[in-house]
Structure 1
Amino acid sequence: MRVASDFRELARRALSGKWGSAVLTTLVASILGADIMVNGGSSTSGITNSVTNVVNRGNGDSSYNGILSTMSITSLTYILGAMMAIVTVLIVVGLVQYVIGSFVSLGLIQYNLDLIDGKDVEFGQIFSKASMFGKAFWLRLRMGIFTFLWTLLLIIPGIIKSYAYSMSGFIMAENPEMTAKEAMKVSEKMMAGNKWRLFCLQFSFIGWQLLCILSLGIGFLWLTPYMNAATAAFYDEISREPLN
């Protein structure tokens, strides 16, 4: 049975000579909203908080009251209107990314599976699952809903379920005839006894993640494809095991 270091080694071998393609493909896929192993923060929430802080501080801070008293109501309306317009645009962009990213995620998965199998890979593969748009979107939404509901019970059950459902995208990418419900069910069976192995694999990258943070995030351009390829290698192994 392979361990984390084995999956990392398989990923490095698969990426040898293909780093440029993998970095570009993963970067574009992430911009389009695909699920990747390393997630960034939400700029929308940050701006929303900024707007809230301005309003709240304006209500309770005397210095803000002094500033606001010198501004005309018209100017304040324009400023708040512009800020809300920015927030609205970011929300719309986020929704578009969520929708498009659903099938791009499956395309990125296929790219990494082919990479691990030693097949020729190309950038255009991230769009190869566009015909599965409906299923891909429902899978993403269903996984999010179920994980959220489990998280409402306690954080730990939510985390456990997120690992249980983690192979659903891989399963649907390889079995396009499956429904979202079926893919999630198969993922639960496949991950029985393998959740800890996936956790250990992900945790084994912690040192690289810290270095990437010190590089102001630039290192994630290379680390993300590395982690994705290692996860694909992990799936490749457990998918060959008989389901209970």
Structure 2
Amino acid sequence: MQKTNAQLRAQARGALAGQWGTNVLIIFLSVLLGGIISGIFGGMTNFETGSTQASILEFLVDNLLLFAFTYATYFVALYVVRGGRAEAGQIFVIFNKKYYVPMMIINFLNSIAGYIVGIIVFLPLAAVIGGGVYLSLVISNGQNFGAIADNAFSGVAIALLILLLMLVFLVAVSIVTGVFQFAAWTKMDFPNVKVGNSLRYGWSLLKGRVGRYIMLQLSFIGWYLLGILAFGVGVLWAIAYANVSVAAFYDEARKEIGDPV
């Protein structure tokens, strides 16, 4: 019988019992090390903040180094939900040669997919604003551009459109991230499976379960809000709880459809 999201969360809490502190420490270390390394690389260059060079350096550092700490938290979540005891040293587990390159490729593809989703989702907004201003300029022969921009589109309408697109973007990114996260776990479980096949398998795990997956993610909003109210520190507990719950979701889906061929 398929487990409900409530049962998956209960499974996560049971797995985290007696080791919340270690799991939170690992999440904290992923953030701390990311900040330290970013600061070191930033201090080694004289690139102006926001410049092309600075953006390229940030992209390279994120996708060649910092990603490993995020994927280490995924590894730990899966390890814990299967009964393992987390250890702080696991924050460096992705630097193991059998994990590093596959996880780096998966993370890079995830980044590209995120950019593409953003472009696709927000393209209508740019088209509406740009098209409205263009038509107004044509009609008024280019006079009084400030008034044209104000009249080309309603501020309220644009705000509602932005809100709608943000919701669509968050849902789309959540689904894309889920596929790549499941692909990462698949590659960890089955090292001989090619990255492309792990991505296809990751999608097969999520396909038909998208609604449940989104609802599982939404169920942690309250935890994140409470974490923010607790001086932001509580967010670390919320992340650990969410990660292990999603790992339980992955394990349940994998049992339902079988191992990748």
**TM-score, length-normalised on structure 1?**
0.69
State the alpha-carbon separation in 1 of the partners of residues 232 and 253 from structure 2.
31
Instruction: State whether residues 164 and 191 of structure 1, in contact with CA within 8 Å, keep that contact through their aligned partners in structure 2.
Output: yes
Instruction: State whether residues 19 and 85 of structure 2, in contact with CA within 8 Å, keep that contact through their aligned partners in structure 1.
Output: no
Per-residue CA deviations over 1:64-85 (Å, capped at 9, x if unaligned) read xxxxxxxxxxxxxxxxxx8936
Instruction: State whether residues 23 and 222 of structure 1, in contact with CA within 8 Å, keep that contact through their aligned partners in structure 2.
Output: yes
Residue 141 of structure 1: CA displacement? 0.8
5+ residue gaps, structure 2, are 40-45, 122-164
* 2:28 equivalent in structure 1: 27
1:185 aligns with 2:149: no
Partner amino acid, structure 1, of 2:235:
F
State the alpha-carbon separation in 2 of the partners of residues 4 and 169 from structure 1.
22
- CA-atom RMSD, angstroms? 3.3
1:127 aligns with 2:92: yes
* 1:99 equivalent in structure 2: 64
Partner amino acid, structure 2, of 1:11:
A
State the alpha-carbon separation in 1 of the partners of residues 50 and 200 from structure 2.
40
Task: Determine what percentage of the aligned residue pairs are the same residue.
Answer: 26
* 1:84 equivalent in structure 2: 48
> What does residue range 66-77 of structure 1 map to in structure 2 within 5 Å?
none
**TM-score, length-normalised on structure 2?**
0.65
> What does residue range 185-224 of structure 1 map to in structure 2 within 5 Å?
185-224=200-239
Partner amino acid, structure 2, of 1:205:
F
Structure 1's consecutive aligned runs of 4 or more residues displaced over 6 angstroms after TM superposition are: 85-91
Residue 150 of structure 1: CA displacement? 4.2
The change in CA–CA distance for 1:117 and 1:162 in structure 2 (over 3 A counts) is: closer
* 2:147 equivalent in structure 1: none
Instruction: State whether residues 106 and 170 of structure 1, in contact with CA within 8 Å, keep that contact through their aligned partners in structure 2.
Output: no
Instruction: State whether residues 21 and 122 of structure 1, in contact with CA within 8 Å, keep that contact through their aligned partners in structure 2.
Output: yes
Instruction: State whether residues 227 and 237 of structure 2, in contact with CA within 8 Å, keep that contact through their aligned partners in structure 1.
Output: no
Residue 116 of structure 1: CA displacement? 0.9
The change in CA–CA distance for 1:116 and 1:140 in structure 2 (over 3 A counts) is: same
Instruction: State whether residues 81 and 244 of structure 2, in contact with CA within 8 Å, keep that contact through their aligned partners in structure 1.
Output: yes
Residue 23 of structure 1: CA displacement? 0.7
| Structure 1 residue corresponding to 2:79, chosen from 89, 109, 114 | 114
Instruction: State whether residues 142 and 180 of structure 1, in contact with CA within 8 Å, keep that contact through their aligned partners in structure 2.
Output: no
- Larger mean CA deviation between 224-233 and 148-157 belongs to 148-157
* 1:71 equivalent in structure 2: none
State the alpha-carbon separation in 2 of the partners of residues 127 and 141 from structure 1.
19
Per-residue CA deviations over 1:6-53 (Å, capped at 9, x if unaligned) read 11111111111101111111111233459xxxxxxxx9xxxxxxxxxx
SS of the residue 1:167 aligns to? helix
State the alpha-carbon separation in 1 of the partners of residues 6 and 19 from structure 2.
20
State the alpha-carbon separation in 2 of the partners of residues 83 and 143 from structure 1.
26
State the alpha-carbon separation in 2 of the partners of residues 103 and 177 from structure 1.
20
- Larger mean CA deviation between 210-219 and 180-189 belongs to 210-219
The change in CA–CA distance for 1:109 and 1:141 in structure 2 (over 3 A counts) is: same
Instruction: State whether residues 167 and 187 of structure 1, in contact with CA within 8 Å, keep that contact through their aligned partners in structure 2.
Output: yes
Instruction: State whether residues 32 and 100 of structure 1, in contact with CA within 8 Å, keep that contact through their aligned partners in structure 2.
Output: no
- Larger mean CA deviation between 160-169 and 228-237 belongs to 160-169
SS of the residue 1:239 aligns to? helix
SS of the residue 2:256 aligns to? coil
The change in CA–CA distance for 1:105 and 1:213 in structure 2 (over 3 A counts) is: closer
Per-residue CA deviations over 1:96-144 (Å, capped at 9, x if unaligned) read 2432233333332221112111123211223223113222111111122
